[in-house]
Structure 1
Amino acid sequence: MSSQTATPGQERQRSRQACVPCRQRKRKCDGKLPCSTCTGYGYICDFKEVAQQNPLKRRSDSEGSSPQAAKAPRVSSEPHDSPAVPPTQQHGVLEPSKQRYVGRQSSVAFPLFVGLDVQAKNPPRLHSFAYNAGIRREPGYTVKFQMVEYIPWDIAKSLIDVYISTIHPVFKFLDEGQLYQQGEEHWHGQPQGCNFEAVLSGVIALGSLFKGALGQEREMRVVRHAKDILEDYHVGRAPSIEQVSAWILRTIYVRATSRPHVSWLCSCTMMHLVEATGLQHEPEAMILPPTKATLDSTEGRPDTVKRIAQVAECLHVLIAYDYGRSLMNISIHSQEPVRLSISDADFTPQLCQLVQAMPVGNASRGSVVEPQQLVLALERVTSIHVDHDFLLLVRTDLAFCLYRRLRIMDFRFQQEQLDQVIGVGVDALGAAHRLSDRNEPWWNILGTVFQFVCVLLAMDTPASLVKLPESMTVLETITDRLNTHLATEALVTARQLIRASMDKKRKGLTCLERALGEDSTEAATNNVAYAAPPIDGIFNPFSQPPQSPLLDLDSLLDMEFMH
């Protein structure tokens, strides 16, 4: 049913019937589904009870209105207005002035809805009324460090350049033009706020990590500054989209420099802020309470906001899946990757495609996932084309995650599935070598190659073992270039596993020779006489044959070697 526009000399057209929310609140209804009133105020439009009422009563209800109703804010009705609507479809409330998102069932939102139900002239604002006893005042902003006094603008700008050229193409969620503009204003007497300083500190720290311009001590001071801002009590009171961006940068840095548990904790905090700011929801799915404030700097750019949420989820899934920790399973995973209308390189949609191929709902409980789901995911992941060396490593990491879960389930691998894993592993060798040559210390430049060695040993097939020499050569090259404790530790451990595999096969061969009645003394003597060649600058623990019992490769494959 459609309403007609009134013209001079014509009588105004009225709706023949009103929807349930309009009748209950005695508001005008145009009879459409949804009607303009429900659309404007966020009500759930429904005509299902109209047919059961008296036509005269329907007309009386549909024509009624009150002055307070005309001033009602755009807030959805309570669930009892439309009991047939499932809870999963109920909208939350977004407070634009604080960029704070709360569920409509929360205690914070309830006074507002009560005020609307009783048609209060000034309904309560969205506020945590009586949340505690209030016997202590809340602390103010405590961060005293000033970035502009610590690093000159020319150095800061050069590190932003490094970030934009290396990390930004893969995790593209910042507006580079705005970043440069705000940064210059921030350094020249126009402060852009503590949230922006946290974002810029993260950018500068990552630029220094990839270029080494600041040195470790100054770089760590910048990292601590961003952490101090993000964990400050006063800043944490008002979540913002800029804080989500700053936590993404911090999570990337921590993943590249720290331990698995710390990385996972950072990613969880990042995802909680995504939820707190409502980034996982479409704009039309949120209710706005009465306010004169506007959204932050991302208002009017829904693609940018959605991209921030998708990048955060990708980072969280990568860390949680690799470490075997639980995931925050939110609605972002099923959304189409955002493709921004930009001319320069943008590999973020490819990253999203890789992550979205993973069954995130059960990522931390591989034992209860159907093997066929993991097999299909493995096929999807290995078939996705990517154009960046880091994403080649990410694709391999995800394939290894699926392989490990299938292996724990005692899955009978077909040669096709093993070839898929080996294929992406070989691609990763070249990518890791190229990243090493460019001095780009992505977090998986070492770990993916090491894990590939472990996977090849675990497969223990002619097709896998033939790839071991090449894999070890790349691992040795990267170790020499990095010259770090973790690189040396990985190389030594890989050689230990290969040595254990050799000893296991030799013992099996000895048993076979004895079964044939052949003398194995000469073979045993040759085994003892064998000594691995020394490694320049690295202690070689294999100069003598190991005296320990046979190692269990299955348990070693699943060990966490990060200390």
Structure 2
Amino acid sequence: MQNQYSRQPSLSASSPALGTVRQRSRQACLPCRRRKRKCDGKFPCNMCQGYGYECEYESGASKSPTKRPIPSEESSSRLPEKLARLASPQSTLRQNTDSSTPGILEPSKARYVGRYSSIAFPLYVGLEVQATKLPRLHSFAYHSGIRKEPPCAVTHQISEKFPWDTTRGLIEVYTATIHPIFGFLDMDKFYARCEKHWHGQPQDMAFEAIASGVLALASLLNGNLNQDMEIWLVLHAKEILEDCSISRFPSLEQIAAWILRAIYVRCTGRPHVTWLTTCTIMHLIEATGLHHTSDFMLQTTGNLAPRPEVSNTIIRTAQVATCLHIVIAFEYGRSIMTVNRQTLESNLQSTHEGDLTPQMCSLVAAVLPVTHATRDSADTTEEILSALEKVVNISVSHDFLLLLRADLALGIYRRLRVTDSKPQQIPNDRVITVGAAALPAARRLVSQGRVWWNIIGTVFQFACALLAMDTSSSCDMLVKAMDTLEFVVDSLDTHLAREALSTARQLARAALDNKRKGVEALERVVGPSPNSTGAQKEHPLPQDLSLSPTLDHQFPFDLDSLWAMEFQLPL
């Protein structure tokens, strides 16, 4: 995988000099006067340019005291020969310490730190005291040093555990099922490196973590490996990513491996652990400087320039990582770290046939304003309603994305319920629309054996939302939702699946009991019906009801009249 950091050309002693003779100036700038240096009277003067001073003149002088502009290479080529010799990377670094730079990037280690960090401070002190040799960007005295750092505890083992034929088949599964949605890997390069890795040319350890993540996810969605081998892959990647000797140098490959781990943990683990995993990814993005893709940044090579042209793979990695973090934090109700919206909304050309990554990014970008809405106000409600409309109107062409769109819409619906919105202001029909489209998608994914994380959760949450809406249209859709949930649960037959179905039925019974109380209260008001007979009293309602498509046949009276009656459930 390519490194996103390329060294920019810096000024050197070979820069051409004009060789002109300096003329005495009528007025010297303040920095030159304080240091008793010769000044050429220009703004900025060459002396301030060479030493990185803030060039300014006394008030009333011909030169107004404003900040000096950053010199370009063209202007630096006109420096006198003496200053041109000073134009080494360090002297260029002195020139480029303007406060507008967000931080310092060390390309050789792919490391970014803010200007205010303790690691960068010795460098800035060196600039201020005009040190001939600037301190490197280093964690000086970060701890006492009484213990040595432990060595790397992991080795290359994946090629010994899995034959190449098995690996190649799993890569094909990943390419067909996961890569279309999470398209951040260059699969051609990845496949070529895998061939080398499995045929006597070991790649680095971060690549081994990527390979382990790819094979584990492919096995999860296709079942090619037994669970013991699949778990070995997951733990092997985790061991690599958490090894201190490897993680001390963050890289794009480590971010890619963490993304794969986060997807797997979302499909198999707990919400808190999943959220922490995505937070780690976002911290790695910050550590490598990818969160400032469009800003000016000071580089230790002595350049202040826009970030180098980054590749499609790099931007997609940042996009997928950001989307994954937002989705997981949004559904779990946890805080979302600062993201670069420009990166999230970057329109990239398709890298492969059936590329669906832009559709996923557009869905997540639509809900981003809602994730930061914290106050209950009319403006917040309008913003949330607008986001819901955007999500509903985005067209997607994959079953997983249909479920994801429903997840986001349900998340917005839950957010609306806790704002100061009145129940009648919530567009239930829009939520029902995207939820209804997700039901057949869940059925298809289960039938195909594609066990994405939301094949149960989306249907279950949709059923809960329908019960909370408590309208005739939501009750009609509830039958289809429960039927789909039963189908998914019967197909998977896992503890979590059965637990979700049992909980949904329990909530449906509570809703039915609530409606029964309302009917009984109304009957006491209006009295017995003149056409009623004593036969109904001989058939009491069964206590243990199971909600199914044939629910209305379990009762001696028409349930449609009950479903048509709207009773608002307590929040």
> What TM-score does the superposition give when structure 1 sets the normalisation length?
0.81
Which whole-Å deviations, capped at 9, do the CAs of 1:506-546 have from their partners, x for residues lacking one?
111011101112279865654434764699xxxxxx99xxx
Is 1:154 the equivalent of 2:165?
Answer: yes
Look up the match of 1:318: 327
**Distance in 2 (alpha carbons) for counterparts of 1:11 and 1:141:** 56
Look up the match of 2:478: 468
Look up the match of 2:452: 442
Look up the match of 1:331: 340
The DSSP-based 3-state class of the residue aligned with 1:93 is strand
Structure-to-structure mapping, 1:201-280, within 5 angstroms: 201-280=212-291
Look up the match of 2:118: 107
Of 303, 317, 321 in structure 1, the residue corresponding to residue 312 of structure 2 is 303
**Distance in 1 (alpha carbons) for counterparts of 2:86 and 2:61:** 23
Structure 1 residue 338 displacement after superposition? 3.8
Counterpart of 1:315, as a letter, is: L
Distance 1:288 1:393, change over 3 A: same
Distance 1:153 1:424, change over 3 A: same
Look up the match of 1:412: 422
**Distance in 2 (alpha carbons) for counterparts of 1:22 and 1:441:** 71
Contact 2:315 2:343 in 1 (8 A): no
Is 1:182 the equivalent of 2:199?
Answer: no
Contact 1:251 1:263 in 2 (8 A): yes
Contact 1:390 1:431 in 2 (8 A): yes
Q: Which range moved further: 434-443 or 226-235? A: 434-443
Counterpart of 1:528, as a letter, is: L
The DSSP-based 3-state class of the residue aligned with 2:140 is coil
**Distance in 2 (alpha carbons) for counterparts of 1:334 and 1:51:** 44
Counterpart of 1:342, as a letter, is: T
The DSSP-based 3-state class of the residue aligned with 2:528 is coil
Contact 2:446 2:455 in 1 (8 A): yes
Look up the match of 1:131: 142
Structure 1 residue 385 displacement after superposition? 1.4
Contact 2:370 2:387 in 1 (8 A): no
The DSSP-based 3-state class of the residue aligned with 1:397 is helix
Structure 1 residue 342 displacement after superposition? 2.6
Instruction: Name the % identity.
Output: 47
Structure-to-structure mapping, 1:13-24, within 5 angstroms: none
Contact 2:323 2:344 in 1 (8 A): no
Structure 1 residue 374 displacement after superposition? 1.1
**Distance in 2 (alpha carbons) for counterparts of 1:306 and 1:28:** 46
**Distance in 1 (alpha carbons) for counterparts of 2:211 and 2:243:** 17
Structure 1 residue 447 displacement after superposition? 0.5
The DSSP-based 3-state class of the residue aligned with 2:522 is helix
Contact 1:68 1:119 in 2 (8 A): no
Q: Which range moved further: 392-401 or 70-79? A: 70-79
Give ranges in structure 2 of 5+ residues lacking alignment.
1-17, 69-77, 549-553, 556-567
Contact 1:18 1:50 in 2 (8 A): no
**Distance in 2 (alpha carbons) for counterparts of 1:147 and 1:27:** 66
Structure 1 residue 381 displacement after superposition? 1.3
Distance 1:336 1:14, change over 3 A: farther
Distance 1:153 1:367, change over 3 A: farther
Distance 1:210 1:171, change over 3 A: same
Q: Which range moved further: 159-168 or 67-76? A: 67-76
Distance 1:47 1:391, change over 3 A: farther
Counterpart of 2:541, as a letter, is: V
Of 336, 339, 351 in structure 2, the residue corresponding to residue 342 of structure 1 is 351
Contact 1:93 1:104 in 2 (8 A): yes
Distance 1:28 1:382, change over 3 A: farther
Contact 2:405 2:434 in 1 (8 A): yes
**Distance in 2 (alpha carbons) for counterparts of 1:372 and 1:18:** 59
Structure 1 residue 178 displacement after superposition? 0.7
Which whole-Å deviations, capped at 9, do the CAs of 1:279-303 have from their partners, x for residues lacking one?
11126522210389xxxxx986433
Look up the match of 1:560: none
Structure 1 residue 341 displacement after superposition? 4.5
Contact 1:240 1:277 in 2 (8 A): yes
**Distance in 1 (alpha carbons) for counterparts of 2:43 and 2:170:** 56
Which whole-Å deviations, capped at 9, do the CAs of 1:205-234 have from their partners, x for residues lacking one?
000001111111110011000000011111
Structure-to-structure mapping, 1:158-177, within 5 angstroms: 158-177=169-188
Q: Which range moved further: 402-411 or 175-184? A: 402-411
Look up the match of 1:69: 86
**Distance in 2 (alpha carbons) for counterparts of 1:245 and 1:20:** 51
Structure 1 residue 112 displacement after superposition? 1.8
Which whole-Å deviations, capped at 9, do the CAs of 1:451-508 have from their partners, x for residues lacking one?
1111111000111111111111111111111111111111111111111111111111
Distance 1:99 1:468, change over 3 A: same
Counterpart of 1:220, as a letter, is: I
Structure 1 residue 91 displacement after superposition? 2.3
Look up the match of 1:5: none
Counterpart of 1:406, as a letter, is: L
Structure 1 residue 271 displacement after superposition? 0.8
Q: Which range moved further: 412-421 or 11-20? A: 11-20
Distance 1:178 1:411, change over 3 A: same
Counterpart of 1:188, as a letter, is: H
Structure 1 residue 352 displacement after superposition? 1.1
Of 92, 116, 121 in structure 1, the residue corresponding to residue 132 of structure 2 is 121
Distance 1:378 1:55, change over 3 A: closer
Contact 2:43 2:63 in 1 (8 A): no
Of 445, 461, 464 in structure 2, the residue corresponding to residue 454 of structure 1 is 464
Is 1:528 the equivalent of 2:538?
Answer: no
Structure 1 residue 116 displacement after superposition? 2.9
The DSSP-based 3-state class of the residue aligned with 1:280 is helix
Contact 2:403 2:441 in 1 (8 A): yes
Contact 1:27 1:65 in 2 (8 A): no
Look up the match of 1:539: none
Contact 1:389 1:431 in 2 (8 A): yes
Counterpart of 1:246, as a letter, is: A
Which whole-Å deviations, capped at 9, do the CAs of 1:175-211 have from their partners, x for residues lacking one?
0001101111011111111000011110010000011
Look up the match of 1:561: none
Contact 1:263 1:319 in 2 (8 A): yes
The DSSP-based 3-state class of the residue aligned with 2:113 is strand
**Distance in 2 (alpha carbons) for counterparts of 1:375 and 1:56:** 52
Counterpart of 1:142, as a letter, is: A
Aligned length: 515
